[in-house]
């Protein structure tokens, strides 16, 4: 039993073989997948997938790349979606200073606004953070999520991880933890408490070794579990069951 806590199965790259992808997920012991929105349309698609498939859940929100597109109508629609069955989180939200597809001032404004909306509807948040560590930290300290949150595809230092753990966050690891040059991710995955770790694929992106270079899919989250088990000298089953339990807790299914 494994939970891929962050995927984008609505991506066009799955259009031609979606039924086969679903079959592979179900036959590989991936019992839950969270499909994560990055704009209004993908959030709506995520909710539909959750409605259509028992094992899929949804997260809704506006990615920093799309922050400049958000309008009052966007927020009204997202608030409606947030109250639909099987919507477990508000995300992915945050800051991205690597590509800077929206002005940084607007990214910050939209990030803060979404934390407040998540607090309003009682959802944890899923954070995207790329090359914006200090600003993300300052924002979550000043605007703490009332229902917790996840730093998806964690890329920060161990020092930053310790600060986030003290703030109540969970850290999620994806394909990069399997890469040969993944010094920071391996260090963090080996030191943080196992009961605060999640696993994900970020499909179709960030394909883990040994499948790197191919399109990613939730089935490959097994490689992430395998790597964390290796780093921590645990069994595959130990990591799978603990990360499942962790996800149930942060997403409100373990109470």
For the segment 195-211, the average pLDDT, to the nearest whole number, is 98
Statement: residue 65 has pLDDT above 90: yes
User: In terms of pTM, does the model score above 0.85?
Assistant: yes
pLDDT for 61 equals 98
pLDDT range class, residue 64, cuts 50, 70, 90: very high
Statement: residue 255 has pLDDT above 60: no
Query: For the chain, what is the mean pLDDT?
Result: 97
E-only strand ranges, the chain? 2-7, 30-36, 56-60, 87-96, 125-130, 149-151, 170-173, 197-199
Statement: residue 136 has pLDDT above 60: yes
Give the model confidence (pLDDT) of 10-19 as tens digits: 999 999 999 9
The domain defined by 2-250 carries CATH number 3.20.20.140: yes
Q: What is the CA radius of gyration of the chain?
A: 17
pLDDT for 254 equals 65
């Amino acid at each position: 039993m494994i939970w891929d806590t962050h995927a984008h199965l609505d991506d066009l790259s799955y259009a031609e073989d979606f039924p086969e992808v679903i079959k592979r997920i179900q036959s590989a012991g991936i019992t839950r997948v969270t499909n994560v929105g990055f704009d209004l349309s993908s959030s709506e698609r995520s909710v539909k997938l959750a409605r259509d498939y028992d094992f899929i859940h949804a997260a809704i929100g506006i990615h920093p790349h799309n922050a400049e597109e958000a309008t009052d109508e966007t927020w009204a629609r997202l608030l409606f979606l947030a109250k639909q069955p099987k919507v477990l989180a508000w995300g992915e939200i945050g800051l991205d200073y690597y590509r800077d597809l929206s002005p940084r001032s607007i990214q910050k404004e939209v990030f803060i606004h979404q934390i407040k909306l998540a607090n309003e509807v009682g959802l944890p948040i899923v954070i995207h953070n790329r090359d914006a560590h200090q600003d993300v930290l300052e924002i979550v300290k000043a605007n703490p999520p009332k229902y917790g949150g996840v730093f998806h595809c964690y890329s920060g230092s161990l020092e930053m991880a310790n600060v986030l753990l003290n703030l109540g966050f969970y850290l999620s690891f994806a394909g990069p933890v399997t890469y040969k040059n993944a010094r920071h991710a391996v260090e963090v995955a080996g030191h943080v408490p196992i009961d605060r770790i999640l696993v994900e694929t970020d499909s179709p992106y960030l394909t883990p070794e040994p499948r790197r270079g191919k399109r990613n899919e939730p089935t490959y989250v097994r490689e992430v579990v395998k790597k964390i088990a290796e780093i921590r000298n645990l069994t595959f089953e130990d990591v799978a069951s603990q990360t499942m339990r962790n996800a149930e807790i942060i997403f409100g299914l373990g109470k």
